Amino acid sequence: MADIETTDATGTENQDVITTARAWLAQDPDAETRAEIEALLAAVNAGSADAVAYLHDRFDTRLAFGTAGLRGRIEAGSARMNRVLVSQAAAGLAAYLLERDPNPSIVIGYDGRKNSSVFARDTAEIMAGAGVRAVLLPRLLPTPVLAFAVRHLDVSAGVMVTASHNPPADNGYKVYLGGDDQGSQIVSPSDADIAAHITRVAAERNVLELPRSDAFETAGDDVLDAYVRETARVMTAKPVELNVVYTAMHGVGWETFSRVAAEAGLTTITPVTEQQFPDAAFPTVSFPNPEEPGALDLAYATAREAGAELIIANDPDADRLSIAIPDASKAEGYRQLSGNEVGWLLGWRAAVNNAEQPTLGGALACSIVSSPALAAVAEAYDLDFVETLTGFKWVSRVPNLLFGYEEALGYLVNPTTVRDKDGISAAIDFLSMVCFLKDQGVTVERALEAFAEKFGYFASDQLSLRVTDLSDIATIMAQLRAEPLQELGGVKVDEIDDLSDGFGELPPTDALRFLLADGSRVMARPSGTEPKIKFYLDVQRPTEKRAEASVVLAAIKDDLAAIAKRATA
């Protein structure tokens, strides 16, 4: 396009961002994002202050590569997800792999989001061009299949192009490592090392001039077949007739889940047809996360029509699992279990199964924001209990792991097969448990009651505050540190642990833990993937005092909501 003449009113700072945008435009291989920048530059030339602001928003920062990889809105600019950024990330990751392995290899997967297949192919071509053996999965598949493939193919690394349960306009880039990392997601210092290589590529290379090659491999269906076989083995109970409704949330879960279920002997699965197949527009949900209000409305409607005994929901890349059970007291006719409730039951099941093995021992693990209930299970069955930082990159690395979870609907039930949360294997494990219970004439609701009777009553809840200005998160955390809370829900705060300097064996993280006089606990932390600050609330009482626990929990939540509101006023 013709050079844009800018006026003195733009100033030096604005001229710099215009120069940066032009340089980006010159290496952007995507017609859609090129058009975005061209339109903004034309608007700047016409004197639009808004267009200048948009350029600053797109280019003043860079989408940071960290232990969660990359994740952001698909748009042009260094602060967004696009082909330029992904190409730089692929080249940087290739340089990292070549530095640590004389014969590196990588497997690449992708889901059904916008540009996922494009980003995956860019990665494969750049890896092959750099001399890294690259294997592209045969089509869009769940994240757990990619995590499985890293170990199954014995490669150096894996990349999954997905934004998981983020808003429809987002996409992302998750990195796994093989070898000693056993197929887990990256942790520090690998993230910083990869990021340094990416930064160097961005500073020194035009992505259009990066070596590319189509000499990458495309995996056959044998990888998926192997995942299906291994995951079906999670079904250890005798299959019984179950009426189950399943939703893929417009994601990639249905094909793989239905195959695993059939292999496991579970045949009566009714899909939510409106959400059965991948659709990057996510037309029936405003936010494709099973935790969000309204996300399961179509599943409830399908379940009511089918008279279903159970609802299973995966998020769009099928690494998370949500469960709902019949409940006549609810308007929907079903009650969605919390992530903690599912975690309690699956953890209890893992402990019982381990107790029946000739070689006993192992560990149960959960993140610091998950319920303390799993610790009670571990103690009762003489197992190790490990608390980790939030994120499955930590949970999956616990030695001798039997089962691990985090309350955000992530579960690891077969760590010898997959070293990441897996919503499909967790669903099969839950179905196996339900089959066993049904054969004994026991419902899931009754199993939860039995858990409370054996281990105590645990009441958990959370408060999420979504912000539009990310600085609000730092403001709230700073205020909580500067003005320590003395009381929550009418209960004295006995102790405050600031985890930003590390705590015990935990590495530093931006989180606060409030321990109350009655044994209640509150965690506060910024979300790692969304513009939110989250508060996690846990109250424990003997089962006969469960009503008291609910009252205290509600009072704590009210106090936290008021604190958050004042901090952002």
Rounded mean pLDDT of the chain?
94
- pLDDT tens for residues 425-434? 999 999 999 9
375, two tokens = 């610790």
* pLDDT at residue 10 greater than cutoff 70: no
Look at 13-17, 157-161, 328-332 and tell me which has the smallest mean pLDDT: 13-17
pLDDT at 46: 93
* pLDDT at residue 96 greater than cutoff 70: yes
pLDDT at 229: 98
Query: Parallel, antiparallel, or unpaired for β 384-388 and 157-161?
Result: unpaired
pLDDT at 541: 93
* pLDDT at residue 113 greater than cutoff 90: yes
* pLDDT at residue 316 greater than cutoff 90: yes
> Domains (ranges, CATH) in the chain?
1-60 (no CATH), 65-220 (3.40.120.10), 240-455 (3.40.120.10), 456-567 (3.30.310.50)
Closest C-alpha to 60, from 4, 109, 92, 19: 19
* pLDDT at residue 38 greater than cutoff 70: yes
pLDDT > 90 fraction of the chain, expressed in percent and rounded = 86
- pLDDT tens for residues 297-310? 999 999 999 999 99
Closest C-alpha to 535, from 460, 463, 459, 466: 463
288, two tokens = 């494709």
pLDDT at 3: 41
DSSP code of residue 501 = G
pLDDT at 504: 78
pLDDT at 529: 65
- Return d(Cα 224, Cα 145) in angstroms, integer: 7
What radius of gyration, in Å, describes the C-alpha atoms of the chain? 24
2, two tokens = 């013709």
DSSP code of residue 384 = E
- pLDDT tens for residues 131-159? 999 999 999 999 999 999 999 999 999 99
pLDDT at 6: 41
From residue 221, give the alpha-carbon distance in Å to each of 141, 154, 178: 11, 17, 21
* pLDDT at residue 8 greater than cutoff 60: no
What are the residue numbers of the active site? 164
- pLDDT tens for residues 486-540? 999 999 999 999 999 887 778 889 999 999 999 999 999 988 767 788 999 999 9
pLDDT at 326: 98
3-class state of residue 482 by DSSP: helix
